[in-house]
Chains A and B, each alone.
Chain A
Amino acid sequence: MNRFVLRHGTQSLFALLCLLVLVFFLARLTGDPTDLYLPMDASLEQRAAFAESHGFNDPLVVQFGRYLAGLARFDFGDSLFQGRPAIDAVLAAFPVTLKLAGITLALALSLAILIGSLAAWRPRSVFDRIASMLTIASASAPDFWVAIVAILVFAVSLGWLPTSGMGTAAHWIMPVGVLMVRPLGLLTQIVRAAMIGALASPYVKTARAKGAGKSRIIFVHGLRNAMLTVVTVAGDQAATLINGAVVVETVFGWPGIGNLMIQAIQQRDFAVLQACILVTALAIFVMNLLIDIAYSRLDPRIRNA
């Protein structure tokens, strides 16, 4: 297990470095922060002083080197806009996103297992057909569109739910609901397919020959095997949710990391942007590790390999 973590760690470290290079240089293509932070009529001297104090005058490579040196001391640089360490801003926003993604995934997974299993028990039944149609639609619905429609219907027309912000439980309903649409559709499809496969497999025949009843066949024999596939896809979805919340967070004014990232880009707040990406990438790495561990727990054939 330790060797496994180590190998994955080294691989991921390299990927992270590539990502850092990419983000660092691409971010600087968005423009010069000086233009944004100083008044239009600022003098050349003022501009020079601003650039000088933030180190924007040095060649990019030097800036990058300074950044890396900072990272080594866990110094992620300061936010230009907020005037505080970038990492503080990110660590304030990240748990909010994590909570949103966690709740969404848990709900989507539970519903997907329920609907997918029922659909798989009698493939091509009326329930299966309706479920398949709806899940295909939801798996392919663009979330920004769903979000806007949801706001129009539930917040503007009906006035049931708040349009944005977070505070009460009611604030959670729409973001979670909208964020859930695609993973729910996808996961239901996956559960259904995996369950159909599992229920048609020879060991289910053996279970029937042992005299096992329907619920035992579905949950003990079918689902336990189907979960092998489902966990892999669910992990993938979790990673997508952690950074895919950008659209939903922006639309609903959710103070999470997605929102922060967009703001950082708009404000040319490079340090915050880099910290956001670093933290997200780290989270995805940890997520993948957890999935791999869960998978090897679930499948004895991998555990011993």
Chain B
Amino acid sequence: MPEPKPLLEVDRLSVDFPTADGLFAAVRDVSFAIAPNESLAVIGESGSGKSVTASAIMGLLDSPPARVRGDIRFEGRSLFSMPGRQRRDLYGRRIAMVFQDPLTHLNPVYPVGWQVAEVGRIHGMARAEAWARARELLDRVGIPDVERRMHDYPHEFSGGQRQRVMIAMAMALSPDLLIADEPTTALDVTVQAQILDLLRDLRTESGMALMMITHDLGVAADIAENVVVMQHGEIVEAGPLDRVFARPQHAYTRQLLTDRSEEYRSLRPTEPPAILELDRVCVRYGSFEAVRNVSVTLRKGEILGIVGESGSGKSSLASAILRLREPSSGSIRYHGRDVFALARAEETAFHRGVQAIFQDPFSSLNPRMTVLKVISEPWLLHPDVLPRDRWRARAAELLGMVGLAASDLDKYPGEFSGGQRQRIAIARALALEPEIIVCDEAVSALDMTVQAQVITLLADLRTRLGLSYVFIAHDLTLVRKFADHVLVMKSGEVIEQGVAEEVFAHPAALYTRQLIASSPVPDPMRQAERRRARRLNLVRDSDRANGMPA
């Protein structure tokens, strides 16, 4: 078969950014091509240069400060040497882009219909025609009640709907190439699956080429035919997705594809004592019931995974466990004592024993405190734990435990990467030698390999220190690998709970099955199969909702 003429060619592209320490090479000598109708996944972690490459294609790099070399050609014409007016004519009309975070990428002060119609208006469409097209597209991407909703503003839509609006915007003039930069990363798994389906359908309908940038191998397996793997600004491997996933050549690709589930399963204690017991816990915000009747027991050294979509009540449950919000009914017992009826001394003991790590390692560390101060702050509040002259030594020891160096003590949080900051947060949580650590989406914001490192660290600390975790995540794969027990939540209720392996292997509830089916796996064959199963499931589900016999 003759090679089709490429739609887009990236030719020896290099992008440098000047920094205080000299030039930072974000993209190095990257070349690849996308044929018409091709679906290409660009895989890599944040900082691997994949988004910078996309920005270069879309003309979104400000140069200076960015220094761009090489060439990018669209249908054989160089985007760099083309006059600005011609290039702008391509953007939005021939090449379109969908960004990661639809909330910030939609203009907050204009109705969504206006924003979709704007693409047509910019490219010379008459007003009425552009609006009619917007209506049609919003309807196509699945916005309900379009006639009314198109006059609503971005904040009035859910995350998934906003991404649908972004996609409608990108599809406005039927582009030949759609660049999607992590379009589903900010979404729940079930919504992610819907968005991926939508992208696939739109591609089939319009025959456009797709460049999907993702760090999620499962997403790549779901949608792409070819794959480019990037690391540190370079392409380390490229080829057909089936081949690369089945027989990865480069060490980095192999590392990405390694299933780590076995590493996490260290020694499991048998029938240890219960340390935290939740009995029919309900949490209300005004008249809204965020958590309904949750009963679960956490034993020493055990990991309890709580999974569910956003809004399912996971975080409300966590704040009840942390004593940040009193349950409206039910009880939480720590070593048999109701945590909301503790004497003063017991309260201190509770706060020592139950620590938390939060999702965002960027905002949960005070940027004006050194690492030493961050870690030793708990000792300030609990003066009997450690005499002041031993703080530094103990903090260094804790840093060592989480894989950082004693020399990091005098640095500020800003000097660390996301993964390192999360390690600092773990060290801080360990400072009081707790029994339980509540991890609220503690690794969700991290890259996959960093995620794996942090998880390995948590698993290791569990074995060494006998810690218990309440591990909240929306990422099923992660919980499946890591947790002993699992709690599946939906709209505040427990849908299913039990031993993790059993729940995942034989999910009893339909919702759990859907969650599992929606979570993509990095295997194109299995992913295709799961997609079919999921669609079947959804059909059955909607039948049931419509009162039809199954």
A300-B155 contact given A202-B105, A210-B91, CB 8 Å threshold:
yes
A209-B122 contact given A299-B109, A301-B155, CB 8 Å threshold:
no
A209-B156 contact given A201-B104, A298-B109, CB 8 Å threshold:
no
Interface centre among A206, A212, A304 (most CB of B within 10 A): A206
- In this assembly, does B59 line the interface, its C-beta being within 8 Å of a C-beta of chain A? yes
- In this assembly, does B153 line the interface, its C-beta being within 8 Å of a C-beta of chain A? yes
| A231 smallest CB distance to B (angstroms) | 12
A residues less than 8 Å from B201 (CB atoms): none
- In this assembly, does B267 line the interface, its C-beta being within 8 Å of a C-beta of chain A? no
A205-B60 contact given A211-B91, A225-B108, CB 8 Å threshold:
yes
A residues less than 8 Å from B104 (CB atoms): 201-203
State whether A206 touches B109 (Cβ < 8 A): no
| B8 smallest CB distance to A (angstroms) | 15
State whether A208 touches B58 (Cβ < 8 A): yes
- A28–B122 Cα distance when bound, in Å, is 66
State whether A209 touches B155 (Cβ < 8 A): no
- In this assembly, does B89 line the interface, its C-beta being within 8 Å of a C-beta of chain A? yes
State whether A203 touches B91 (Cβ < 8 A): no
Those of B93-132 within 8 Å (CB) of chain A: 93, 96-97, 99, 101, 104-111, 118-119, 122-123
B75-102 vs A, CB cutoff 8 Å, 1 = contact: the mask equals: 0000000000000111111001101010
A213-B96 contact given A202-B104, A206-B105, A298-B109, CB 8 Å threshold:
no
State whether B107 touches A225 (Cβ < 8 A): yes
State whether A210 touches B108 (Cβ < 8 A): no
| B387 smallest CB distance to A (angstroms) | 47
State whether B99 touches A206 (Cβ < 8 A): yes
- A304–B153 Cα distance when bound, in Å, is 10
Chain A minimum-CB-distance residue to B100: A202
B residues less than 8 Å from A209 (CB atoms): 58, 60, 91-92, 96-97, 99
- In this assembly, does A216 line the interface, its C-beta being within 8 Å of a C-beta of chain B? yes
Interface centre among A202, A210, A216, A304 (most CB of B within 10 A): A210
State whether B60 touches A300 (Cβ < 8 A): no
- A213–B60 Cα distance when bound, in Å, is 13
| A160 smallest CB distance to B (angstroms) | 44
A146-190 vs B, CB cutoff 8 Å, 1 = contact: the mask equals: 000000000000000000000000000000000000000000000
State whether B108 touches A203 (Cβ < 8 A): yes
B141-172 vs A, CB cutoff 8 Å, 1 = contact: the mask equals: 00000000000010110000000001001000
State whether A211 touches B107 (Cβ < 8 A): no
A115-130 vs B, CB cutoff 8 Å, 1 = contact: the mask equals: 0000000000000000
Those of A177-233 within 8 Å (CB) of chain B: 201-203, 205-213, 216, 221, 224-225, 228
State whether B122 touches A211 (Cβ < 8 A): yes
State whether B109 touches A224 (Cβ < 8 A): yes
State whether B91 touches A206 (Cβ < 8 A): no
A residues less than 8 Å from B118 (CB atoms): 207, 210, 212
Chain A minimum-CB-distance residue to B153: A300
| B227 smallest CB distance to A (angstroms) | 24
B residues less than 8 Å from A210 (CB atoms): 91-92, 96, 118-119, 122, 169
- A2–B96 Cα distance when bound, in Å, is 45
| B269 smallest CB distance to A (angstroms) | 47
Contact of B107 (CB < 8 Å), options: A206, A213, A228, A298:
A206
Interface centre among A202, A209, A299, A304 (most CB of B within 10 A): A209
Chain B minimum-CB-distance residue to A221: B107
| B68 smallest CB distance to A (angstroms) | 16
- A300–B90 Cα distance when bound, in Å, is 32
State whether B89 touches A211 (Cβ < 8 A): yes
A207-B107 contact given A300-B153, A300-B155, A301-B153, CB 8 Å threshold:
yes
| A65 smallest CB distance to B (angstroms) | 45
A residues less than 8 Å from B108 (CB atoms): 203, 225, 299-301
B residues less than 8 Å from A299 (CB atoms): 108-109
- A224–B153 Cα distance when bound, in Å, is 15
- A301–B118 Cα distance when bound, in Å, is 21
State whether A211 touches B109 (Cβ < 8 A): no
- A205–B169 Cα distance when bound, in Å, is 13
- A201–B107 Cα distance when bound, in Å, is 9
| B163 smallest CB distance to A (angstroms) | 13
- A152–B491 Cα distance when bound, in Å, is 74
State whether A203 touches B105 (Cβ < 8 A): yes
- A299–B154 Cα distance when bound, in Å, is 12
Those of A257-305 within 8 Å (CB) of chain B: 298-301, 304
State whether A202 touches B99 (Cβ < 8 A): yes
- A303–B108 Cα distance when bound, in Å, is 12
State whether A211 touches B123 (Cβ < 8 A): yes
Chain B minimum-CB-distance residue to A212: B122
Chain B minimum-CB-distance residue to A210: B92
- A212–B59 Cα distance when bound, in Å, is 12
- A203–B90 Cα distance when bound, in Å, is 19
A residues less than 8 Å from B59 (CB atoms): 208
- A58–B246 Cα distance when bound, in Å, is 100
- A138–B526 Cα distance when bound, in Å, is 68
- A300–B154 Cα distance when bound, in Å, is 9
- A208–B169 Cα distance when bound, in Å, is 13
- A225–B109 Cα distance when bound, in Å, is 7
| B98 smallest CB distance to A (angstroms) | 9
State whether A206 touches B106 (Cβ < 8 A): yes
A205-B99 contact given A211-B122, A213-B88, CB 8 Å threshold:
yes
A211-B155 contact given A206-B105, A225-B109, A298-B109, CB 8 Å threshold:
no
**Can you name 29 A-B pairs with beta carbons within 8 Å?**
A202-B105, A203-B104, A203-B107, A203-B108, A206-B97, A206-B105, A206-B106, A208-B59, A208-B60, A208-B91, A209-B92, A209-B97, A209-B99, A210-B91, A210-B92, A211-B88, A211-B90, A211-B93, A211-B119, A211-B123, A213-B88, A216-B122, A221-B107, A224-B107, A225-B109, A299-B108, A300-B108, A301-B155, A304-B153
10 extra interchain contacts, Cβ-Cβ under 8 A, other than A209-B58, A301-B108?
A203-B106, A203-B108, A205-B60, A209-B92, A209-B99, A211-B123, A224-B110, A225-B108, A300-B153, A300-B155
